[in-house]
Amino acid sequence: MSETLSHWINGQSVAGGSGRTGNVFNPAIGEKIAEVPFASVDEVARAVAAAKAASPEWASTPAIRRARMIFKFKELIEANMNEFAQIVTREHGKVLSDAMGSITRGLEVVEFACGIPHLLKGEFSEAVGTGVDSYSMRQPLGVVAGITPFNFPAMVPMWMFPISLACGNTFILKPSEKDPSAANYMAELLKEAGCPKGVFNVVHGDKIAVDAVLEHPDIAAISFVGSTPIAEYIYATGCSHGKRVQALGGAKNHAIVLPDADLDMTSDALVSAAYGSAGERCMAVSVAVAVGDKAGDALIESLKPKIEQIKVGPGTDADSEMGPLVSKVHLDKVRGYVDHGVSEGANLVMDGRDLKLQGYENGYFIGPCLFDHVTPEMKIYKEEIFGPVLSVVRAPDYDAAVKMVNDHEFGNGTAIFTRDGDAARDFASQAEIGMVGVNVPIPVPVAYHSFGGWKRSLFGDHNMHGMEGVRFSTKMKTITARWPTGIRSGVDLSFPMMG
């Protein structure tokens, strides 16, 4: 018997009232395990009303008290890590170690948010004019919303709401309908941590709920992570309704492999980056650019035995290294990309399409796939597959490899593998990409730096978390003050000069 999930509004679970629901599956067995309500426009409005009502008191709560609540939330996550990871694995499919790792990376942003009293400090200049001081402060925006993807149901929301709440905003979270339970679990932990009613709310749903969030006049800002077409839609629609928007889109992350690279270390890194979480990561390396045919041949030969050893299985199995894809629809999509790559003439070195696991025949599993001799004209090169598919491309020289990286429409992450410090330094400077790794395959910044791509991987002016997250979640106010000193300067209608 499947579970019926609820929204979380004004500090409590609220049953869905729209009459519309979606099915939640366990991807390892391909069976329905829950129903999630799809919010109506009125239900979204109810959540926004609760957030708006809670906003004035929460905004006026001293930052140190907000930080203490966030700190308690951090402690509760740590105390319940195993249960939290089980929730993520059951609905997403990723192996437990990966689920725990993603929660830990989200927790690092929670830890960063605990320092909000320091992060909100403004600037002060004494005597900018005779008897005049100037200072600045950062104040909350009001109601902020987050729309998050299926691939990281815990981590990505934690990139958003802890900083937003710590800055004094109230928050509406619209998680993916594919794995919604993590959002409800975090709402319960926040309540236990002392989060006041209405400060954090969860509404589930599809495009109707998303559009209601985008169009509601009382939502000041929206943060989004997902595919590029949807990111572009979120950005355009949100901005047209007067909202501040950061919308992170898709990726096609390249790793350049120079002939002098440590081949064993490089192939280890590429296998981890391409096939971890079944490739369902916006920072997954999906293209390896080998500089020279000799380097390409050596790379393929180094990759093959390591890929063959990957243990595919249900995420709850301690021996599993790669779990299933999130849904049957997504499985069919990834298989279709592999089919297309073969039809385009790429060399399918390793084919995982026919993988079957005893006892899990209905699960959404696909084995690791490896293509060689992929070219930039191919669909599997141009588009984000979001599955366990690694394409090896051959470039004649370093300059051609860098051009390949820079010519792609996406600019999320990239990496270079080399022992040459000059080449690495040049690449870090010349790559038209938001996040660059040097002998690091997944260069996701730590919590006190910021995450974000370039080109069609990011719409908006602010990156995620770190100080960019604080700037996104606040508005700047500057005060210029003079107190009476007995000086009378008279009326002066000219432009004010402080010197």
Cα–Cα distance measured from residue 192 to residue 105, given in angstroms and rounded to the nearest whole number = 22
282 is catalytic: yes
Contact 326, 179 (CB under 8 A): yes
Burial (CB count <10 Å: 0-12, 13-18, 19+), residue 30 = middle
Rounded to whole angstroms, how far apart are CA atoms 128 and 135?
10
CB 379 within 8 A of CB 367: no
Rounded distance between C-alpha atoms, residue 29 and residue 222, angstroms: 35
DSSP 495: P
Asked if 466 and 447 touch (Cβ cutoff 8 Å), the reply is yes
Cα torsion 416, 418, 424, 430 to 10°: value is -40
Token pair of 312, please?
């595919």
Torsion-angle region of 93 (φ positive above 0: left; ψ -120 to 50: alpha; else: beta): left
What is the rounded CA–CA span in Å between residue 275 and residue 389?
Answer: 7
- How far apart CA 422 and CA 419 sit, in angstroms, is 9
Of 114, 167, 195, 282, the active-site residue reads 282
| Distance between CA atoms of residues 173 and 8, nearest Å | 9
Q: How far is 424 from 258, CA to CA, in rounded Å?
A: 10
Which positions ≥6 away from 353 have C-beta within 8 Å?
335, 338, 339, 366, 367, 369
DSSP state of 496: P
Burial class (CB in 10 A: 0-12, 13-18, 19+), 29: middle
SS3 264: helix
Angle at 272 between CA 266 and CA 273, to 5 degrees: 85
Q: If residue 474 lies in a helix (H) or strand (E), which one and from where to where?
A: strand 474-482
Closest CA to 464 of 427, 412, 415, 429: 412
For the record, the structure tokens of 344 come out as 């385009």
d(CA 321, CA 390): 17
Q: CA 29 to CA 324: how far, in whole Å?
A: 9
Provide the annotated active-site residues: 282
